[in-house]
Copies of this chain bind each other. A is one copy, B any other.
Amino acid sequence: MTSIREVAKLAQVSMSTVSRALNGSGYVADSTREKIQKAVDELDYVPNKWIRSLYLQKTGIIGVMAPESIHPFFSSLWNCLESEMHENGYNMIVCNTGGEKEIEREYLDTLERNLFDGMIIGTANLPDENYMKINKPILSLDRIIPGLPLVTSDHWQGGCIAAEKLLERGCKNVLQLSALDDNTVASSQSGLAFAKTMQKNGAKVITEGFVWQDVINYTRSIHRAREILTAHPDLDGMMVTDLCAAAFLKTAKEFGISVPGQLKIVAYDGTYITDFNERTISAIEQDVSLLAKTVIKVLIALINNQPLASNRIYVPVHYKAGDTL
């Protein structure tokens, strides 16, 4: 394979001049440009994107970290992210941690060792310092980490809309699954806003834990739904994530609880899971396409050392009507 070195030699210019000419990244005299083009043609040189990237100290690769990529929210968002990256000349490496801190450390290390030009953090289980000390373009999708740009859905708005919808339908005794005390996670805002709005209007809010492993595993998900519906037979509404909503809908049927008659369900995320269910699940939908566009725009600005208009960007969510409310 012809190298940039050979092109430079034949054109009698420096390698950096060839690089500038091919990348359009600086001034090159027209006569020099012609000589380089002639050498490129003569040697049948095809610029190797990767080798060229090395030269520019860029790899064209962005890492995307999450616990799993099977979850419909992540697989939907990753699908849009991959497409946006491709549009912008980047490749996407999937970094699944399975919730393991060691694997997370390993991927952050890979970022610092320059395999990635930048990284998108969809899971963050280490102390803040681990992310703050990284001197590379890095962006968070959910956890609020000092100094790191955050691009996330407007979860506060989402929680408010869900509460208003359930209140309109007369709910007085509702369930929400997110933890109320973690202010460092942007998505917990939906639970906070939901609880606040419900309580302000005289409803009772029951909070139950539903760990990540319960969400993604069908057997565990159904098991938790059964436990919760048994412990709280007087529940009349809930705002829970898509897969939990599907599990509760199924369990309600098993328990002879009519939906939406006795129990109203609003799913959160609104991925295709809510559409492809036998009854469409009413949902707060995150705009994954706009999220992906915004994330890539911000990350590329970081990679190119451009200033950001804002360090925190909130993408609007909206209500998607279904059969469970």
Residues of B within 8 A of A221 (CB): 276
Contact B279 A278 (CB under 8 A): yes
CB distance from A87 to the nearest CB of B (A): 11
Which A residues lie at the B interface, using CB under 8 A?
48-50, 54, 61, 68-70, 72, 75-76, 78-79, 82-83, 86, 91-96, 98, 103, 110, 113-115, 218, 221, 243, 246-247, 249-250, 253, 272-273, 275-279
Q: Which of B49, B61, B83, B113 makes the CB contact (< 8 A) with A98? A: B83
Residues of B within 8 A of A82 (CB): 69, 94, 96
Contact B278 A278 (CB under 8 A): yes
Q: Which of B75, B110, B249, B250 makes the CB contact (< 8 A) with A69? A: B75
Are A94 and B96 CB-contacts (below 8 A) given A249-B278, A253-B278, A277-B246?
A: no
Count of chain copies: 2
Compute how far the CA of A69 lies from the CA of B115 in the bound complex, rounded to whole angstroms: 23
Residues of B within 8 A of A115 (CB): 49-50, 91
Contact B272 A70 (CB under 8 A): yes
Q: Which of B93, B96, B276 makes the CB contact (< 8 A) with A247? A: B276
Compute how far the CA of A185 lies from the CA of B7 in the bound complex, rounded to whole angstroms: 44
Given contacts A50-B113, A72-B75, A82-B96, 16 further A-B contacts (CB under 8 A): A49-B110, A49-B115, A50-B115, A69-B79, A69-B82, A79-B96, A82-B94, A91-B95, A91-B115, A93-B93, A218-B276, A221-B276, A250-B277, A250-B279, A253-B278, A273-B273
